[in-house]
Structure 1
Amino acid sequence: MSFQPILPLGGYAGWAFLTRTLDRQQAVFDKSPAMARDTDYFTAKIGEVDSAGALVADRRLLRVALGAFGLGDDIDSRHFIRTVLEDGSTDTAALANKLSDKRYLKLAEAFGFGPGETRRTGQPGFAERIVAAYRNQRFETAVGEQDTSLRLALNLERELSDLAARGLNDASAWFSVMGSAPLRQVFDTAFGLPDGFAALDLDDQLSGYRAKAEQRFGSAEFAQFAQPERREELVRAYLLQAQVRQVDATLSSARTALTLLGG
């Protein structure tokens, strides 16, 4: 049986405990037999893979490759994943550039199997980077099996750090949030945005996000979330709002049940 993260509390108190013990818990999780088998195999074999076809043909390699980008549910969609990889990321007509979920674009960029691109599977450090991402994603998944909100908070920390490192302009960074379902859920909840917000025109959504950021944090600029203390404020706002919504949903269900019983 693999190690399960220890989460004695939920909400922001649970987040404080998780972040305080994260390094120790992650280290134990990474040493579990199943994780070690997957990552050792990937490290030993990925350098030999020279095409998208070869990658999708090896289920064990594909599991780690997809898992590193949070795409583990696509393990049986081999034709689709092969197309994403073979199209690459540099052509605007490539499938990964057409998909709203930018995890596929990150996958294509990471492997470099597209036309005119440089294959990266044999480059020094490639296997280690993918394995590290896979371990983090798997740990987040294990956390999510106990508490979805804490999983999204962990994902937020990682994704915002990645966005900051990419050096995107302000609008592109906000649009990246809109294109990431986990990030969008955190921001929408933290900002108290209604369910129909995602259906608005993209420019209207951009204005909405900037206005809410200005109202809550004193700045509309996305670059502020490169600061650890500002990310922590965002996580706190998200977890507190998520708890409020959970309580409201519970009370609503209780009122409905009482109404039915009274009837």
Structure 2
Amino acid sequence: MLSTTAYYLSVAKNLTKSQATTAAEPQVATATQYFEANIGKVKSVSDLLSNSKLYNYVMTAFGLSDMTYAKGLITKVLEGGVSSSTALANTLNDPRYKALATAFNFAANGTATTSSSTTVQTTVNNYVEQTLENNVGKQSPGTQLALYFQRVAPTISSTYGILADKQLLSVVQTALGLSSNMGLENIDMQAKQLSNLVNISDFQNPAKLQSFIERFTANYDLNNTTTPTPMNALMVTSSSTPGVSSSLLLSLANLRMGGS
């Protein structure tokens, strides 16, 4: 059985190659080609939402695939932008919406929003990473959480950022051995409690971030004894699971046998 720590370390070590493998997967490549060829034609929020392929791609890229049905909400988020503290994206207490409205800032940039090469590349990179993490999660949910934390934690500026993100909060609670019942407390009390236990600036330090993630993966395995992924299961699904290449599997096997 492969531990979450070993699986995470191997994926993280080969992250660039895993991302490239995911991007080259036919379904991902086709979706990305369509997005890049057509997103420039989008001149308004309604244009984006009326094209299901583009809309689903963007929503997936920003971790909002579970909210594609809520077009009314997404319309208000995108039309409100992020410049005002009262903008919906800033008040939803969920960083996914702010990230979406920041990238597709129709309120500030109007019809030129989708002509930004930065917006296009950010969306594509996010889509590939989201797909990779989802694929990894099919084999090891703990590794998926670890990869998400590695990507997102350095971007938060306060403990409220942790509390606003269920996945970040799950990692922190597991790493620190905190009860999920802390969510029953007042939000300010929760933030104060976390501030006494976590130095947010540590997440901008790669070594400290890595140490925290490994603390999470170790505790995750202790709490989920059936989570570690059997090597034979990885071998069986490798040909059909995007982002898990043969070289990655060899690295995983090497770690299992005590190699480096």
Instruction: Calculate the TM-score normalised by the size of structure 1.
Output: 0.80
Partner of 1:247, secondary structure, is coil
Give the whole-Å Cα distance in 2 for the aligned partners of 1:94 and 1:16.
39
> What is the correspondence of 1:78-227 to structure 2 with a 5 Å cutoff?
78-114=71-107, 117-119=108-110, 120-163=113-156, 168=157, 173-213=158-198, 221-227=199-205
Structure 1 window deviating more from structure 2 (146-155 vs 79-88): it is 79-88
Give the whole-Å Cα distance in 1 for the aligned partners of 2:226 and 2:162.
26
| Structure with bigger RCO (C-alpha 8 Å, 6+ apart) | 2
Give the whole-Å Cα distance in 1 for the aligned partners of 2:98 and 2:128.
20
Kindly report structure 1 stretches of 4+ aligned residues shifted beyond 4 Å.
Answer: none
Q: Write the deviation string for residues 161-188 of structure 1: whole angstroms up to 9, x where unpaired.
A: 333xxxx4xxxx2111111111011011
Partner of 2:190, secondary structure, is helix
Does the CA contact (< 8 Å) of 2:22 and 2:131 recur in 1? no
Q: Write the deviation string for residues 193-225 of structure 1: whole angstroms up to 9, x where unpaired.
A: 112112212222122112223xxxxxxx31121
Aligned with 2:12 (options 15, 19, 38): 19
Q: Which runs of 5+ in 1 are unaligned?
A: 1-7, 214-220, 250-263
- Letter paired with 2:84: D
Partner of 1:44: 37
Give the whole-Å Cα distance in 1 for the aligned partners of 2:144 and 2:211.
17
Cα deviation for residue 57 of structure 1 reads: 0.4
The reply to whether residue 10 of structure 1 matches residue 3 of structure 2 is yes
Q: Write the deviation string for residues 58-117 of structure 1: whole angstroms up to 9, x where unpaired.
A: 011111111111111222322221222112222333322221222111111111122xx1
Q: Write the deviation string for residues 132-177 of structure 1: whole angstroms up to 9, x where unpaired.
A: 11111111111112211100100111102333xxxx4xxxx21111
Give the whole-Å Cα distance in 1 for the aligned partners of 2:126 and 2:21.
16
Does the CA contact (< 8 Å) of 1:10 and 1:147 recur in 2? no
Cα deviation for residue 248 of structure 1 reads: 10
Question: CA separation of 1:79/1:207 partners in 2, compared to 1, >3 Å: closer, same or farther?
Answer: closer
* Aligned-pair identity (%): 28
Give the whole-Å Cα distance in 1 for the aligned partners of 2:2 and 2:14.
13
Aligned with 2:26 (options 24, 29, 33): 33
Task: Please tell me whether Structure 1 or Structure 2 has the larger radius of gyration of its CA atoms.
Answer: 1
Partner of 2:117, secondary structure, is coil
- Letter paired with 2:200: F
Does the CA contact (< 8 Å) of 1:63 and 1:72 recur in 2? yes
Does the CA contact (< 8 Å) of 2:18 and 2:132 recur in 1? no
Aligned with 1:229 (options 194, 198, 207): 207
Aligned with 2:60 (options 51, 59, 67): 67
Does the CA contact (< 8 Å) of 1:121 and 1:127 recur in 2? yes
